[in-house]
Each structure stands twice: as structure tokens, then as C-alpha cells.
Amino acid sequence: MLRGSELLLDRTRPENPCAPNEADVYFRRRLIEPAGTSFLDSMPAYVAAEFCSVLGEFERTVGSVDRLQRIGGVFGSPQLRRAGFAIAKDGREAVNEFLTDYVARMSRHFDLPRMYYAAARRWWNQNLHNPDYHPVMRKIQDHAEENTPLDRGDIFFWPVLRRNIHTLDSAAEE
């Protein structure tokens, strides 16, 4: 070892090393081992990581005073990815329950359902050309159609084929 390098190494070692985060361990494993059978394993690793970041952004938005604030580079944020992984690691039903609660909470602040899903819509706009994203985007669209008042012909990611939830005005029209 070079003279003085031990002193340099001592200054770069963390005083209190922490255990690796569960999300980081999962995604590292996804890069070096074949995918398993979990909900997240059903997606390519990069799509799953970004999906977790979108969920993390949803969670951040609910807890934020400024719900319109956009975080730059959201799809690569380790904090958001970790927060979303904490939700998605428990599977499709856990994600669905989270999204349902999220929509209920966001509906108190916004009138337009598309506003609830702003992070997912930005994600879609960046990745609509890549079919690897389509299955998870379909899940998000299905959730939106089943839990928000989207009308037939509205465009979410794809055109809405049938209204499932009514507003007072749309119910009165029918």
C-alpha cells in the first residue's frame, strides 16, 4: 500500500456503515440472476425499478404540501425507488390497494383524474415507444378506469372503452 493511503482510506470509510437497502439488494440480484416469479419479477428489471420510482413519487405526492411539485429525474431516484419497492414487493394486490388509497386521497385535492396519475403519465410519455412498459402501463390504466370517472373515448394511456365510475353530472345524464 502506498504511504499515506491508510490515512486516506480511514477518511473515506463511513463511521456507521449501514446495511444495504432491501430494494437495492433486490435490484442488484435482478441484474445478476434470472428473474423469479414475483410481481416485480414479471417485468424487465429496468421497468420494475422505474415502476417502483413512480409508486414512490405517488407516495411522496400524497404526503407533500405542494402536490404539483415535480422532482427532476424521478425515475432514477433511489429514495423514490426504495419507497415504491416497499409497496410493490408485496405483490399486485398490495400495489392495487396502495393505488386505490392514493386515488381516494388525491381526489380530495384534484378534480381531474389525470392529475392523480401525473407521474405515471410523464413516465408513459417517455416510454410509450417501448413495449416492455406496456403491461405495467395497462395495469395502471385498468386501475384508473376502475377507480376514477374516465369517460368512454377519454385518452389515458390508451382510449377508454367504457365508463366505470360516474360523476354526479355523468350519472344525471344517463
Q: What is the pLDDT of residue 1?
A: 46
Phi/psi of residue 155, nearest 5 degrees: -105, 120
Residue whose cell numbers read 414487493: 89
Phi/psi of residue 34, nearest 5 degrees: -65, 150
Task: Judge if pTM exceeds 0.85.
Answer: no
Indicate the DSSP class of residue 68: T
Q: Evaluate whether 71 touches 77 at the Cβ level (below 8 Å).
A: yes
Distance of CA 59 to the CA centre of its chain: 9
Q: Evaluate whether 156 touches 144 at the Cβ level (below 8 Å).
A: yes
10-residue mean pLDDT profile of the chain (174 residues): values are 52 62 92 93 95 93 61 68 96 97 88 82 93 96 90 90 62 54
Euclidean distance between CA atoms 158 and 165, whole angstroms: 17
Burial 14-27 (b: 16+ CB within 10 A, else e): eeeeeeeeebeebb
Euclidean distance between CA atoms 88 and 53, whole angstroms: 10
Q: Strand locations in 30-156, DSSP E?
A: none
Phi/psi of residue 159, nearest 5 degrees: -60, 140
CA atoms lying within 13 Å on the CB side of residue 97: 8
